[in-house]
């Protein structure tokens, strides 16, 4: 008795059109994911940091007019402000205007300026970063919740010697580096102005 073997059929040809369609969808999904990721990273960076353009000469020679500075908005969420820090803040005279200055006095400090020298709690501080010695004099007590700030270009700066101490609520963050123009790029130094007590 002859047995009949089932007829074997050739395998069906692969359909190329659905694959092409799924490849197009995959590309579109990847593109959307990359755009969303870039947006999340951009928003995170802008939440944690700020970009500020230096406008004027009050921080000369440390910072020059037109330089761009990166500011750490979270610096004082995780650490304490220090004398010597360069900060960006809303002007006490016009909150829509931002200033950049150096912290000289912390809450509780006594600041005195006389004979071209700045004294913090009786210590004469060394300031190799300033343009020139201050040509003014005065004495200030820094209240709680305030800083005493000065521009490095002491005689051409609207700062605490002119309008008083700065409310810490106005602080945007700590300036950490100059990033533009590239030939001027540098990390900003924050020197210790007086010995730790």
Nearest to 120 by CA among 106, 108, 110: 110
Helix (H, G, I), strand (E, B) or coil at 51: strand
Identify the active-site residue in 58, 157, 160, 174. Answer: 58
101 is catalytic: yes
58 is catalytic: yes
Contacts 24+ apart (CB under 8 A), 33-36: none
Identify the active-site residue in 3, 5, 91, 101. Answer: 101
Bin 158: left if φ > 0, else alpha if -120 < ψ < 50, else beta.
beta
Q: By the 8 A CB rule, do 131 and 150 touch?
A: no
Give catalytic residue positions.
58, 101
């Amino acid at each position: 008795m002859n047995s009949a073997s089932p007829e074997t059929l050739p395998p069906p040809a692969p359909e190329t059109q659905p694959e092409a369609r799924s490849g197009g969808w995959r590309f579109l999904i990847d593109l959307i994911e990359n755009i969303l990721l870039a947006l999340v990273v951009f928003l995170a960076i802008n939440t944690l940091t700020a970009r500020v353009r230096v406008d004027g000469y009050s921080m000369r020679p440390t910072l020059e007019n037109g330089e761009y500075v990166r500011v750490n908005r979270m610096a004082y969420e995780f650490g304490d402000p220090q004398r010597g820090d360069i900060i960006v803040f809303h002007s006490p005279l016009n909150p829509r205007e931002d200033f950049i200055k150096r912290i000289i006095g912390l809450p509780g400090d006594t600041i005195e300026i006389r004979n071209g020298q700045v004294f913090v709690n009786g210590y004469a501080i060394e300031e190799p970063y300033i343009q020139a010695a201050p040509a003014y004099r005065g004495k200030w007590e820094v209240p709680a919740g305030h800083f005493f700030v000065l521009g490095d270009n002491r005689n051409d700066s609207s700062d605490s010697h002119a309008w008083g101490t700065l409310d810490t609520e106005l602080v945007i963050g700590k300036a950490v580096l100059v990033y533009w123009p590239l030939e001027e790029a540098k990390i900003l130094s924050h020197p210790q102005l007086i010995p730790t007590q």
